[in-house]
Every structure is written in C-alpha cells, then in structure tokens.
Amino acid sequence: MLRKMQCLLLFTLISGAVFADQITLKNGDKITGKVVKSDGKTLVLHTEAAGDLTIKFDAIQQITTDEELHVGLKNGKTAVGPVTASDGKLEVATKSAGTVEASTADVSVIRNDAEQSAYDKSLHPGLMQGWNGGVNIGFSVARGNSELENLSLAFIAAHPTLNDKISLYANTLDTTNNLTTPSTVADLIQAGIRYERNINPRAFVFVGADFQSNALQELDLRGVYGGGFGYHAIKSDTTTLDVLGGINYTHETYSNGPLLTPLTVPPTYQSYGVTNKFVAATLGEELTHKAGASTVITESFYFYPDLQDSSDYRGTFSLGSVTKMSKWLGWQNQFSEIYVSNPPEGAKKNDLVFTTGLNITFAH
C-alpha cells in the first residue's frame, strides 16, 4: 500500500512538472495542462488526461504558466515570456523588457513556441509549401434524339504569404453531339497566372497573363499580358472585395471556322483569318463571401476597352458557389458570360456557360 502511494505521489509530481500551466475558471474549477494557443475568444489547453480542451476566454478567472508564451496585443505589440493573468489583467515576464502589463481584453493572440513556429512558417512558406485550392469536375451524357456528352474541368490554386500571393487557374468545357456535323458543340479553354505584392495592408500591385481558346467564337488563342494596381475595398473574415485597374497588351487570333461545304471529315479549318494586336485597359472587381459555415460565393467582373479603338472592347462576368459536404468534398455551381464587341463575321458576341459538379479541395 505504501509503495502504491509513493508511486502515485511520484506520478503526480512528474505530471505537475510536465503539465505546469494552470487555468482557474470563474466557477472555481482548476485545470492543469499546457497552454497551446488563444485567439482572444477561446483558449486551447493541452491536458494529459483529456487531450486538447477549448475553453471560452471570458470564462477564465486566472492563468499561470511556467513556460514562455508569445502574446500578441491589439496595438500590434508582441511580448514573450511566462504569463500570469487575473481579474482582467495580464502580465508577461519578458527577459528584455521586464514585465509587460495589458488588459486581457487587449489580447489578440497567444501561442506557445510550437504554434508560433508554425505560424511564422505559414507567413513565409517555400514555393513548394503553402498551396491551397480545388478541382471542379462536371460530366453529363444524353442519348436518344441526341448523343450529347459534356465534360467540364476547372483548377484553381493560390500560394499566399504575408506580403504576396501567386494565383493559378485553368478550366475547360467540352461538349460534343455525335449526331451533328461538326460534332463539337462547345470547346472552351481558359488559363492564367497572377502575382500580387502588397504595398500596404489595403493596396497591392499585380502582374499576370491570361489565355483563352473558344471554338464558339472561332477564337484560336487570345493572350492578355498586363499589370496594375489593386485595392482591398473590403477585407474581413467573411468578405473580401478587391478593385483592380491597369493596362494590358492583347494578342488574339481568330480562324474563319469550318468550310461551308467541307471536303474532309472532320472538316478542315481556315487558320488565323483575323489577328488583332492592341493595348487595352484592365478594369475589374473580385468578390468572395462566406455564406454560413459551409458555402462560399465568388463573383468577378472584368472590362477590357481597347485604348486605340473605343468601339472595340471585351467583358467577362462570373458567379459561382461551393458548398462543402465534407472537409475535402463539395458541390460547385458556376455561371459565366464572355462578351466580345467585334467578333469575326458570323460569330455571336457573347457566350453563356453554366457548369455544376463536384469540388475537391486540397492544401499543401
């Protein structure tokens, strides 16, 4: 019996040495563990018996830690050291600046060394780390009076850091009807890359390139190379609205489409019937809004007026949503319109496209 009590006492002492931080709640309960992090609203405490516990910050009466914590205040300052908090006041025993005092209401973040190290790496990830994005897949088949097959694929990825961001996108829409000639009903491919660099928390500069091929408008290839300035008109946890303006160089080539009386099957094409090269303005806006816990709505509009010919302009509009069904799987809907003021003779000015299907998210 005595030996068991000695073992229990030794275990208690070891536990107290390993889990030395203590949280006292306003109801009088005391919890021992290791403070992991806090966002000023909740605090995560790692305990030996129950793992990680999430505690409401305003339910805490007192905090006492032995190891150093990184405490970020709402005024932008950071203090590092053991923390003592009681009755709405917090003290950080720093090595260089002595004791730093603040109100618990002024605390924006608390992190232990491991969490702070992970956060620092997230601000400056290597080029192969820190990517996030998703893949959209949609497919449909119709049989009977038509043999219609439709496949839509889309890919987006972003690499954000503290001061800049790289964005990539690509999407394709292919629709065929094997009972008609020609069999291709729609063949649209879009892709692009953009790099942004912050000037200050609200403003940024950007450069990018966009490419498009559209059989519906007899467009073989359009390349748009440009840059400019952007402004975060709205930047919150749920909504971001960016306004962009700049200049671009556009190079586009149109074919004349299939011959009216094709002599070969599939029909031969007349290539590069029209080539346009011009300088245009880039005017646009991009909106992202989190609608509830599981749905994200995106919208964008861009207008590209030819600076040499005011009658020649182009516009794109996109509206979409992704609703998560699990951590990595969701359902996406996307509507877009592409408008060209002066398409080749015989081609329509605008194309409307609607796609729906699965969304697979990823992070690296």
- Residue 362 — very low, low, confident or very high, per pLDDT cuts 50/70/90? confident
Residue 307 has a pLDDT of: 95
* Burial status of residue 183 (CB atoms within 10 A of its CB: 0-12, 13-18, 19 or more): middle
What band does 93 get if pLDDT is binned at 50, 70 and 90?
very high
Spatial contact of 335 and 138, defined as CB atoms under 8 Å apart: no
pTM over 0.75: no
Q: Examine the pLDDT at 180 and tell me if it is beyond 80.
A: no
Average pLDDT, the chain: 85
Which residues, in sequence order, are CB contacts of 312 under 8 Å at separation 6+?
278, 305, 306, 341, 342
Ramachandran category for residue 104: left, alpha or beta (phi over 0 → left; psi -120 to 50 → alpha): alpha
Q: Which ranges of the chain does DSSP label H, i.e. alpha helix? A: 2-18, 113-123
**pLDDT tens digit string along 261-282?**
455 556 555 444 788 899 999 9
CATH topology classification for 132-363: Porin (2.40.160)
Range(s) of the chain covered by CATH 2.40.160.40: 132-363
Region 113-133 average pLDDT: 82
Structure tokens given for 93: 């025993």
pLDDT tens-place string over residues 200-248: 989 999 999 999 998 877 888 999 999 999 999 998 889 999 999 999 9
